[in-house]
A and B are shown apart, each in its own frame.
Chain A
Amino acid sequence: MERPEREVSSADLPSIIELSPDEARRSSSESVTATGVTRNADKLLEVRGLKTQFFTADGVIQAVDDVSFDVGYGETLGLVGESGCGKSVTALSIARLVPDPPGKIVAGQIMFDGIDLLKLSNEAMRKLRGKEIGFIFQDPLTSLNPTLTIGYQIGEAIREHMGLSSKAARDRVVELLAKVGIPRPADRLKDYPHQFSGGMRQRVMIAIALSCDPKLILADEPTTALDVTIQAQILELIQKLSHEFGTAVLLITHDLGIAAGMCDRVNVMYAGRIVETGSVDTMFENPRMPYAWGLLDSLPRIDDIRGAKLRTIEGLPPLLIAPPDACRFGPRCRYVRDICREDEPELTARPGEGHLARCWATEPGGWIS
């Protein structure tokens, strides 16, 4: 007989309804949610002019092309876009895990807590990964080693980076497993990844990511492989823990709903560039880039009156080999004019918190007010 496991829920709340994590964060820590333009000292991660390219037989793919953004301490920043827009490559570049060959970071600066990551030796970078920067990937099954126990895999980073005794490390593993809501954590140390369900494996991944109290977590589509109810649990857990530990999160997702619920600020990426950035409320209330409009328009919504036809974005994103000096979204844009075809717009300010967009039409004096 299989007995459904009772989950030690992330918070043993008396009611069946949990406090929305967003609310929890907002109420208990005002300072963390402060976003927008702030002093440099507040920035945990500063990416400047990042260019990552892939050298293939067909040509040089400019996967990430001159991308700059910041992540504040304790902040959750969303990188949103469709496949091939460069969001995952951006995260890999920050972790210096771009497969080389064919990939290479050709230009830019990545300042992490005052350290220039691109100048670090491989050894120093290896020490930083897992300790200062944690990772949560899309597929927990392939990111865990099937031949090692869960206890060993979580303990690995702790022993490596924190220099704890094996007894202390074990205690910490049990504590972490309890934190991520794994029932009977002490009994499960000797279990292997296949003995956990998909959602539980992702919890283990989160425990590994958090094992050394990192300052930043890179979460690349952390819930894409999961069912919607499990997804909700995992996202809540990430949000709750990042708040509890004051960890900043760089959340990469294609799902605008997830970005709306999780992030303080959102960057929209298209064809290797950031095309719009701003606080989550500004971005969803008053997006200023036709690509963002198109994304929102093409999304069927659960709270929408049905029947209306979706307004789609026609065509496909451009190939990133030798992109022209023009708006990259231009060929698919319904509002394209000559200037868009002749010159690429810069990321310029729009009204609203830290709101920037790359679009001629919505610039002051443009043809869309």
Chain B
Amino acid sequence: MATTTTVIDRRLPKPKQSAGLWSDAFGRLRKNRLALFGLVLVILFLIAGAFGPILAPWDYKVQDLQAIFANGNRPIKPLSPGHLLGTDSLGRDLLSRLLDGARISVTVAFVVQIVILSIGVPIGAVAGWFGGRLDNILMRFTDVIYAFPDLLFIILLSVAFRETAFGQALDGLFLVFVAIGLTSWVTVARLVRGQLMALKETEFVEAARAIGVSDARIVVRHLLPNGLSPIIVAITLGIPSAILAESTLAFIGVGVQPPRASWGSLIADGEKYVRGDPHLVLFPAIFIALALIGFTFLGDGLRDALDPKLKGKQ
């Protein structure tokens, strides 16, 4: 009579060759059509951002004066020879300008997230890990930042620094990145804090402590890998708001300086012609919408795929 303790229990779900949690998540993501659609849009967006100037039929600054004169100094309509999406009133190719704008949007998307991460993660991590008074101080500070009107802050910052080297860097974009980043790290800080607070109390962290694992190692080996997925989701979902914020600022004239144009300032420029030449507003708007949809779908898909609550339930 064998005792149970020596009998090897061998009923496991089919040994699908040990997929890690990340590849499991990717498997789930692949089954999600909307997320895949989002992923395709995001990839197109990134390609446009990276290779826009190479792909563009014209330089974004160049005016096709000949064509404009021929058209009686009016913007050229879409689907005209040489100008797939038409031109603006100065004869600059709209598609080329949109592709250059994509570069700005991509830079905004990522640089802002880096600013957010480098402020939000340390503040959230310190607050969450140490707790107590430090947590209290940091969180009241984030509350204050959160309560401050974002747009007002950004505009003030832009006006204050417009004439400085800081304000001129990257065609005036650097200032915008920093301003947007400074107002939106709060969400990530809170998220990281919440994650750490919750994870700190889990039994597996307690087990690590009981084993004698050092605090630093607990953070690196247990807390960060487990806290990562919501942060990835937050970043993915944070990108569209950064793009939107930049476009809004550009629309009201803050940020990128002419002759460069971001999608937001293209809309602002096109607004005057919206009756006769709606394409000048329509195409930038479509580009913005597609980018937002892409990141949002991908972010939602990632959230579903990475949600550990789904683990083992399928």
Contacts and interface: CB of A to CB of B under 8 A. Distances in A.
Are A and B associated in one complex? yes
Nearest to A298: B4
A348 B278 CA distance: 81
B7 A314 contact: yes
Interface in B1-29: 3-4, 7, 9, 11, 13
15 contacts: A56-B314, A57-B314, A58-B314, A309-B3, A312-B4, A314-B4, A314-B7, A314-B9, A315-B7, A315-B9, A315-B11, A316-B9, A316-B11, A319-B11, A319-B13
Interface string A39-72: 0000000000000000011100000000000000
Interface in A309-339: 309, 312, 314-316, 319
Interface residues of A, number: 9
Contacts of B314: 56-58
Contacts of A58: 314
B107 to A, nearest CB: 40
Contacts of A56: 314
Contacts of B13: 319
Given A314-B4, A314-B9, A319-B11, 11 more contacts: A56-B314, A57-B314, A58-B314, A309-B3, A312-B4, A314-B7, A315-B7, A315-B9, A315-B11, A316-B9, A319-B13
Interface of A: 56-58, 309, 312, 314-316, 319
Q: How large is the interface on B (under 10, 10 to 19, 20 to 34, 35 or more residues)?
A: under 10
Nearest to B5: A312
A312 B6 CA distance: 13
A205 to B, nearest CB: 26
A309 B314 CA distance: 36
Contacts of A316: 9, 11
Contacts of B3: 309
A314 B3 CA distance: 9
Contacts of B11: 315-316, 319
Nearest to A56: B314
A58 B13 CA distance: 10
A316 B4 CA distance: 12
Contacts of A312: 4
B312 to A, nearest CB: 12
A59 to B, nearest CB: 11
A315 B2 CA distance: 13
Interface in B245-293: none
Interface string B294-314: 000000000000000000001
B226 to A, nearest CB: 25
Interface in B41-75: none
Nearest to A312: B4
Nearest to B2: A314
Nearest to A310: B4
A314 B6 CA distance: 11
A278 B4 CA distance: 30
A315 B11 CA distance: 8
B83 to A, nearest CB: 49
Contacts of A309: 3
A309 B4 CA distance: 11
Nearest to B31: A57
A315 B314 CA distance: 22
A110 to B, nearest CB: 28
Nearest to B7: A314
A61 to B, nearest CB: 12
A316 B314 CA distance: 18
A297 B264 CA distance: 74
Nearest to A58: B314
A82 B230 CA distance: 35
